[in-house]
Chains A and B, each alone.
Chain A
């Protein structure tokens, strides 16, 4: 059974650095074709992809946020960590982690499992 769960502070102050952890089970990030992304959603607004880390440690970042983001993985702990520097009230959002995996049968990466999300509020 695949599960993902986000954890981190519910409240941070402006200019602080946010550290979020995605702890997952039911799969390994060392498996070829496995990837984990972070996505956020401000209250009442649309989804925004932030960053991704792949099984081979390739990393990809949102063009608009890349100077503030760092993504890393700890395969032994089944965790992916996202840090976001210089937080601002506009960064208030629910932050999700999700896995996408290459299914040979479909010849496609499926974004098939998401965490429940964690709400982060940034105070000024």
Chain B
């Protein structure tokens, strides 16, 4: 199975900060990489699919980039509602796998 490694596992940031989260796959997954946001007690919400495509209804301050094995999620200007846990997921194989998550906390 493909292993997905996210970093950092947690970070502290302030409102209006720029935040970057990275995700590395154990083998090439082309651009089959998705990003989710999960608020406490809620189901994950799709933010970015195919590495860089913004899901409908998601604010444009979220962006994704990368291909192959290295990917990045960027929040350009952190808003109060963005404090949450973020997961990457590869959908390249028939057995998708998730990263360990990055918790974005208020500084």
Q: Mark B73-97, 1 if CB is under 8 A from A, else 0.
A: 0000000000000010101001111
**How many A-B contacts if CB must be within 8 Å?**
53
Residues of A within 8 A of B53 (CB): 106, 108
Instruction: Give me 14 other A-B pairs in contact (C-beta within 8 A), A47-B36, A108-B53, A110-B46 excluded.
Output: A46-B99, A47-B98, A49-B96, A49-B98, A63-B1, A96-B44, A98-B43, A106-B50, A108-B50, A112-B46, A112-B55, A115-B43, A116-B43, A117-B43
Chain B CB within 8 A of A73 CB? no
B contact set with A: CB distance below 8 Å: 1, 34, 36, 42-46, 49-50, 53, 55, 87, 89, 91, 94-101
B contact face: mostly helix, strand, loop, or mixed: loop
Complex formed: what's the CA distance from A46 to B94 in Å?
Answer: 19
Question: Contact between B95 and A62 (Cβ–Cβ < 8 Å)?
Answer: yes
Q: Give the interface of A toward B (CB within 8 A).
A: 37, 39, 46-49, 52, 60-63, 96, 98, 100, 106, 108-112, 114-117
